[in-house]
A and B are shown apart, each in its own frame.
Chain A
Amino acid sequence: MSLKERVQRCLGDDVIAITEYRGDLGIEVPKGNIVSVLTRLKEDETLGFDFLTDLFGVDNLDYYAKKKKKPKKKAAGEEELVEEEEDKGPPPPRFEVVYLLQALKTNERLQVKIRVPEDDMEVDTITTIWKAADWPEREAFDMFGFKFRGHHNLRRLLMWDEFEDHPLRKDYPLEGKGEERHLSYD
C-alpha cells in the first residue's frame, strides 16, 4: 500500500487536504487535532513516523491576496468572468505551522501542516510527544508569535527577552524598528 493510502487510512477524516510534490507527501489537518494526529502517525504500526525532523512557522500575509490581484487584460466581457472565477470565498488563515516527520525504519517522510488564524495563535504543544520540539517551538514563538499551549518554557530563543515584536512576520520591517538591547546588573 502506498504511503498516501496508509496515511489516509490512519487519519481518516482528519486529512483536510493532501498534496504530493516530486514524491514528497504533505497533508493538512485541523489545528485542534494536531496532538492526536501526530500521536497516531507515530504509533501506527504501518507508518511509524517516530522522528521529528523540524517544526517551523509560515506567514502567508499577502500570499493569497497577491494571487487574486492578477489582472488579465482581455476583452471587457471576459474580464468580468475572470473576476467571478477568482472569488473563491475568504482566503485561508494567515499562519501555518509545519511539522516534518520521518520514519526511521522505512526512511519515509511526511509533511503535516496546520493553519493558524491571526486572532487565535494558540497551538497545542507537541513536546509531550517529542522532546525535540522544545526549541523549535520556542523559535516559532519568537519569530511568529505562536502560543504553544502546555509548553513548559515558552521563552524567546533567538531574540532577547525584552524584544517585543515577532521579526519573521511579513509586516515586520526588515531593518527593524530600532530596538536595542540594554542589560542592567542588579
Chain B
Amino acid sequence: MGFQAYQGEGWLLTKAEQLINWGRSRSPWPFPYGTACCGIELMAALASSYDMARFGAERVGFSPRQCDVLIEAGTITKKMVPVLKTIYAQMAEPKWVIAVGACACTGGVFRTYSTQQGIGSIIPVDVFVPGCPPRPEGILYALLKLLDKIQEDHPLYKKRQEVAEALEAGK
C-alpha cells in the first residue's frame, strides 16, 4: 500500500496518483460483451465458484456508461464491428479492454470473409487472453494483470498532457 493512515484525528500521507490508482484498481466494473463460447467461460468466471467479485469486479454492468473494463469474449464478425466501436466510444474514461479467446485476439480458426481478424485493429486492447476458449482462471489472471497495469498508471500525468494538448490545439 502506498500510504498509511494514522490514528487519532486521522490523516493520510500519500500521492494523489497512488490514491486514484488504488481506487480504480479496486473497482474495475466489467462490461460483459460475450458473443460466442468464451462468453460461457466469462459467465463461469463471474459466477460463484470462481467469483470475479473478489477482485473488485463486483458489479457487472449492462450499460457501457457505467463500466470500466470491456471484456470482449468471443468472435467479432465484420457486421458487428461498428457496434463494438460504438460501445467502446460510449464508455466513460477511464476505460480498459480485455480480449478473451483466440477469436477476439486474432480471429481464431475463422479466417474467413465474415470474421474480424482480431479486435486489436478496431479498439485499443490492454490484455489479450489466448485459448479456445480460455478457462475462467485465464480470465481472472487477465483481470489481475489489468489491475497491475492500472496501478502503474499515471492518471494525473496523462491528464496534464491532455490539457496541454487541448490548450495547444486551442491556440
Bound together, the chains give a CA A139 to CA B55 distance in angstroms of: 45
Let me know if B65 is at the binding interface, CB within 8 A: no
- Selected from A167, A182, A183, the residue in CB contact (under 8 A) with B113 is A167
Contact indicator A182/B112 (Cβ below 8 Å) = no
Classify the secondary structure of B's interface with A: loop
Classify the secondary structure of A's interface with B: loop
Residue in B78, B79, B113 with the greatest tally of chain A CB atoms within 10 Å: B113
8 Å CB contacts to A: which residues of B100-139? 111-114
Let me know if A159 is at the binding interface, CB within 8 A: yes
Let me know if B164 is at the binding interface, CB within 8 A: no
Contact indicator B114/A176 (Cβ below 8 Å) = yes
Q: Mark A129-142, 1 if CB is under 8 A from B, else 0.
A: 00000000000000
8 Å CB contacts to B: which residues of A153-186? 158-160, 167, 172-177, 179-183
8 Å CB contacts to A: which residues of B5-63? none
- For A177, what are the chain B residues with a Cβ–Cβ distance below 8 Å? 113
Let me know if B94 is at the binding interface, CB within 8 A: no
- Number of chain A interface residues as a range: 10 to 19
* Chain A, residue nearest B112 (CB): A174
Min distance, Cβ A25 to any Cβ of chain B, angstroms: 34
Min distance, Cβ A157 to any Cβ of chain B, angstroms: 11
Contact indicator B82/A179 (Cβ below 8 Å) = no
Bound together, the chains give a CA A182 to CA B86 distance in angstroms of: 11
- Which residues of B come within 8 Å of A, CB atoms? 78-79, 81-82, 86, 111-114
List the 5 closest A-B pairs by CB distance, nearest first.
Answer: A176-B113, A183-B82, A160-B79, A167-B113, A181-B78
17 A-B residue pairs with Cβ-Cβ distance under 8 Å, sorted by A, are A158-B79, A158-B114, A167-B114, A172-B113, A174-B113, A175-B111, A175-B112, A175-B113, A176-B113, A176-B114, A177-B113, A179-B78, A179-B113, A180-B81, A181-B78, A181-B79, A181-B82
